[in-house]
């Protein structure tokens, strides 16, 4: 059996020190509509930290190797692959897993041709981030021009993408929260948010109400969970949509967390909906790939949309990359190059 190098986890799960490069990893095979891509770069996502610890529900079709977004060149194509791709093409894309490796087998329905205007590192930071933001805004949040929107964790990669999408696509107002003044200011100065709020020092929900003359925001995209739940109910407008993508503050209400007024659900006619991208089928993800390609890619090419990269690591330093992500001090993507 052909082998390759890939990031592996000693014992199958564990802490950062368990990460290592395994040079005896089986090289993936392609069938149906898949391509074999030689990976140039891959992007880190918070789900990688959870999967490393055995705390993430990995889809059944995913390999055990971490990583869902990458850039690279096509080395082989299966018989049912999309006709627009050929061997040698420079591409980037989204996968169910396996990106922390020399090679990845991925459906051509989830690939995009790499533009000359973008680097390998930039392309590896687009797929999961921008597709997740698009899904949250449009498919779940029902965004339309003229609606207002609030992005929690404003300096996270998904919210950085989401704020740019919101401004470019006609939001009446874009708001963001973060855990420091520096990150809140970053959202305003660099991403075009109307206001950014430090959740550690301000009553952000009250400030959103003031900024909207008591109306509230039409869409809230949240990753925090219990800690922001009460504030979300207060900050949302009537008929608002609250989209929950993660629970970084835990999965249960704890003493000291703000108590939610559940009467606001009825009084405001709110909808609270959870969602994830990785668990979706290929057809669903493919539609989002098409939307990214048709609507966002031209703006990447002309520089209107920016892929903000915090740090680029050699993949030999994967432990340092995971430590940086766990620090919660980043503004933008962490990318690894495969050497």
Spell out the residues 6+ positions from residue 161 whose beta carbon is closer than 8 angstroms to its own.
129, 130, 132, 133, 305
How high is the pLDDT of residue 104? 98
pLDDT in tens, 151-199: 999 999 999 999 999 999 999 999 999 999 999 999 999 999 999 999 9
Instruction: Kindly give the residue spans of alpha helices, DSSP state H, lying in 153-225.
Output: 157-168, 181-191, 204-211
Q: Count CA atoms closer than 13 A to 307's CA, side-chain side.
A: 25
pLDDT in tens, 95-124: 999 999 999 999 999 999 999 999 999 999
How high is the pLDDT of residue 198? 98
Q: Judge contact between 8 and 51, C-beta under 8 A.
A: no
Q: Are strands 3-9 and 19-26 parallel, antiparallel or unpaired?
A: antiparallel
How high is the pLDDT of residue 271? 97
The closest of 287, 333, 309, 143 to 219, measured between CA atoms, is 143
Mean of all residue pLDDT scores within the chain: 96
Domains of the chain: 3-126+281-337 (3.90.180.10), 129-274 (3.40.50.720)
Residue 244: pLDDT band with limits 50, 70, 90: very high
Q: Count CA atoms closer than 13 A to 33's CA, side-chain side.
A: 11
Does position 284 have pLDDT exceeding 90, yes or no?
Answer: no
Q: What is the residue-wise DSSP string for 28-96?
A: P---TTEEEEEEEEEE--HHHHHHHTT-S---TTS-SS--SEEEEEEEEE-TTS-TT--TT-EEEEE-S
Tell me, yes or no, if the pTM score tops 0.85.
yes
How high is the pLDDT of residue 286? 86
Section 33-51 average pLDDT: 97
| H/E element, 324 | helix 318-326
How high is the pLDDT of residue 167? 98
pLDDT in tens, 127-148: 999 999 999 999 999 999 999 9
Q: Judge contact between 232 and 205, C-beta under 8 A.
A: yes
How high is the pLDDT of residue 282? 86
Q: Judge contact between 292 and 112, C-beta under 8 A.
A: yes
Does position 278 have pLDDT exceeding 90, yes or no?
Answer: no
Section 57-76 average pLDDT: 95
How high is the pLDDT of residue 238? 98
């Amino acid at each position: 059996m052909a082998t390759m190098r890939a990031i592996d986890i000693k014992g199958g799960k564990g802490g950062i020190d368990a990460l290592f490069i395994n040079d005896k990893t089986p090289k993936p095979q392609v069938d149906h509509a898949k391509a074999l891509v030689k990976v140039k770069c891959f992007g880190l996502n918070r789900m990688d930290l959870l999967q490393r610890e055995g705390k993430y529900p990995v889809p059944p079709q995913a390999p055990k190797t971490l990583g869902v977004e990458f850039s690279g060149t096509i080395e082989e194509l299966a018989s049912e692959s999309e006709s627009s791709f050929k061997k040698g093409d420079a591409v980037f894309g989204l996968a169910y897993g396996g990106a922390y490796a020399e090679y990845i087998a991925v459906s051509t329905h989830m690939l995009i041709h790499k533009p000359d205007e973008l680097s390998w590192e930039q392309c590896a930071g687009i797929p999961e981030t921008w597709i997740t933001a698009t899904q949250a805004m449009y498919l779940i949040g029902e965004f339309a021009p003229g609606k207002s929107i609030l992005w929690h964790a404003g300096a996270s990669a998904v919210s950085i993408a989401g704020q740019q999408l919101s401004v470019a696509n006609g939001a009446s107002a874009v708001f963001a929260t973060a855990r420091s003044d520096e990150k809140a200011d970053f959202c305003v100065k660099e991403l075009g948010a109307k206001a950014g709020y430090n959740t550690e020092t301000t009553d952000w929900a009250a400030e959103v109400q003031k900024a909207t003359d008591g109306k509230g925001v039409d869409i809230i995209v949240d990753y925090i969970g219990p800690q922001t739940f009460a504030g979300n109910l207060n900050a949302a407008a009537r008929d608002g949509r609250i989209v929950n993508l993660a629970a970084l503050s835990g999965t249960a209400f704890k003493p000291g967390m703000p108590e939610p007024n559940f009467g606001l659900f009825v009084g405001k006619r709110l909808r609270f909906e959870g969602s994830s991208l990785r668990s979706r089928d290929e057809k669903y993800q493919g539609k989002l790939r098409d939307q990214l390609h048709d609507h966002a890619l031209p703006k990447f090419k002309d520089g209107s949309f920016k892929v903000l990269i915090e740090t680029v690591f050699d993949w030999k330093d994967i432990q340092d990359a995971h430590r940086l992500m766990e620090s919660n001090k980043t503004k933008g993507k962490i990318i690894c190059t495969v050497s």
